[in-house]
Structure 1
């Protein structure tokens, strides 16, 4: 029986919220979780758009995690 562990080299996660504070909290929470997987933030891209149906802003972000070097 062979026991093999494969590490995650890279991971991309998407987040969205109706305010910046909530978006930041979601990202911070996920950063802490990914530290356990030995992943660091490699890059962050974010965007804000106005939703005419709700008449509110909509915030989104993409976070790229990579293994620690």
Structure 2
């Protein structure tokens, strides 16, 4: 049985929350976790959706890349 390690070079993660502070905390926590495996933030994309009742829904996509 062969065991092979490969370095992660790209990673895309999706986040969602009911308020902006929670979304920011989730992203910040994941940035710290990914920093441990030598990944840095390459780009961030986010959106806000308001439903019929006026409640806001926040989502984000973060692209992590290997640090060179």
TM normalised by structure 1 equals: 0.90
Query: In the aligned structure 2, how far is the partner of 1:67 from the partner of 1:60?
Result: 23
Query: In the aligned structure 2, how far is the partner of 1:67 from the partner of 1:38?
Result: 6
Q: Which runs of 5+ in 1 are unaligned?
A: none
Report the aligned-residue RMSD: 1.3
**Which structure 1 residue ranges, 4+ long, deviate > 6 Å from structure 2?**
none
- The aligned length equals 68
Q: Which runs of 5+ in 2 are unaligned?
A: none
Structure 1 residue 24, shift from structure 2 partner: 0.1
1:4 corresponds in structure 2 to 4
1:48 corresponds in structure 2 to 48
TM normalised by structure 2 equals: 0.91
Structure 1 residue 63, shift from structure 2 partner: 0.1
